[in-house]
């Protein structure tokens, strides 16, 4: 049992997004997403308590190579990253339980530079629990947790010399290109001289392998997506789970992303009382839950440069499945 009272002097929690704000923003985004083409709902609906547990199952699936490859890269290169950055403050965006981040924390602690860890996540309960766990495991570390949305609250990350912002898991691939450009621009603004960004990136490869990662033999990935519909129904009183939708996880070669969600099995109307709307679907019409973009080095360099960032280091696993990219602001 962690003694939070004893750890309190080293743990700070800033709540920039309370439950009421989170719900209002989510409902508004859902309302407009259901009017977009294609129809879509925010991927945050995936991550209630049940969804988070299902995703942990996904990371252990034989088809889902992403988590294993990124962990292999962090094990191989964490010390080099620590040496290159000498980071005094490690910021983790979309931190969750910060499991893989311990590899960076260990390397930076060994380097002797690290003084503060700043995890940022939308889930206050998970974030606070993780903050105290990290503080207990690293007695010399201050932990400044920020409850917020990395797309909206990056400017609230505390300033400090020698900052490393880590955005792992290829989560950046869940952002549409316009949103990704805005996000990278906000990162560039947050980086000062000597600061750096570390990105985890899933790479373009055989489409069959990519699609298999989201169409596993045991159906866990489909269960994960269907849980988003159950979450919608529970919170908005909708009837998505009683409607007829077929699971969709398809590679789009033009966009170089996997589109995840459903296709309507028939012409139908879904009622969403919580938003005061009824949503009509044609037969075969998609309902997008998320996209997962895959990257090539040249595309990453181009997008970084467009945001005012310069690629400094690029590490890949032997199979070329995944990459870690270290970048710095080019306009500092």
Ordered domains of the chain (ranges, CATH): 1-243+297-332 (3.40.50.150)
221: closest CA among 193, 178, 244, 250?
250
Helix (H) or strand (E) holding 264: strand 257-264
* Number of Cα atoms under 13 Å in the Cβ half of residue 299: 15
Cα separations in angstroms, 306 against 3, 152, 310, 311:
46, 20, 9, 12
The residues, ordered by sequence, that sit 6+ positions from 14 with a Cβ below 8 Å of its Cβ are 144, 145, 146, 147, 148, 156
How many Å apart are CA 182 and CA 187, to the nearest integer? 9
Q: At what angle do helices 101-111 and 66-85 cross, to 10 degrees?
A: 20
Regions of the chain short of the pLDDT cut 50 = none
- Give me the pLDDT at residue 22, please: 83
* 286-293 and 257-264 beta bridge pairing: antiparallel
- Give me the pLDDT at residue 45, please: 93
How many Å apart are CA 226 and CA 24, to the nearest integer? 22
Helix (H) or strand (E) holding 193: none
- Give me the pLDDT at residue 332, please: 54
14-49 burial: b if 16+ Cβ within 10 Å, else e: beebeeeebeebbeeebbeebeeeebbbbbbbbbbe
Within its chain, how far is the Cα of 193 from the centroid?
26
- Give me the pLDDT at residue 203, please: 98
- Give me the pLDDT at residue 97, please: 67
3-state secondary structure of 310: strand
How many Å apart are CA 191 and CA 198, to the nearest integer? 12
3-state secondary structure of 164: strand
| Largest Cα–Cα separation, the chain | 61
Beta pairing partners, 89 = 116, 163
Neighbours of 168 (CB within 10 A): 25
Q: Please, are residues 244 and 264 in contact by the beta-carbon 8 Å criterion? A: yes
């Amino acid at each position: 049992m962690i003694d939070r009272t004893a750890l309190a002097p080293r743990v700070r929690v800033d709540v920039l997004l309370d439950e009421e704000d989170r719900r209002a923003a989510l409902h508004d985004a859902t309302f407009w997403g259901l009017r977009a083409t294609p129809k879509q709902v925010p991927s945050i609906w995936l991550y209630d308590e049940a969804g988070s547990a299902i995703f942990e199952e996904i990371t252990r699936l034989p088809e889902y190579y992403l988590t294993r490859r990124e962990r292999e890269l962090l094990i191989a290169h964490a010390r080099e990253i620590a040496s290159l950055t000498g980071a005094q403050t490690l910021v983790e965006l979309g931190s969750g339980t910060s499991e893989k981040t311990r590899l960076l924390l260990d390397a930076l602690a060994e380097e002797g530079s690290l003084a503060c860890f700043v995890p940022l996540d939308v889930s206050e309960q998970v974030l606070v629990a993780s903050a105290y766990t990290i503080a207990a495991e690293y007695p010399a570390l201050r932990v400044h947790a920020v409850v917020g949305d990395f797309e909206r609250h990056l400017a609230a990350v505390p300033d400090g010399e020698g900052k490393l912002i880590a955005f792992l898991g290829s989560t950046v691939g869940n952002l549409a290109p316009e949103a990704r450009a805005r996000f990278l621009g906000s990162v560039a603004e947050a980086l000062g001289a000597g600061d750096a960004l570390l990105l985890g990136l899933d790479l373009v490869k055989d489409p069959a392998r990519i699609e298999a990662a989201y169409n596993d033999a045991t159906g866990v990935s489909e269960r994960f997506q269907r849980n988003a519909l159950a979450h919608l129904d529970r919170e908005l009183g909708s009837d998505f789970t009683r409607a007829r939708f077929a699971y969709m996880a398809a590679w789009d070669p033009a966009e170089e992303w996997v589109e995840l969600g459903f296709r309507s099995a028939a012409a139908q109307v879904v009622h969403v009382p919580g938003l005061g709307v009824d949503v009509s679907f044609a037969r075969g019409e998609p309902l997008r839950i998320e996209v997962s973009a895959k990257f090539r080095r040249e595309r990453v360099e181009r997008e970084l440069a467009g945001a005012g960032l310069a690629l400094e280091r690029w590490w890949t696993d032997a199979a070329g499945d995944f990459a870690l990219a270290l970048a710095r602001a080019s306009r500092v």
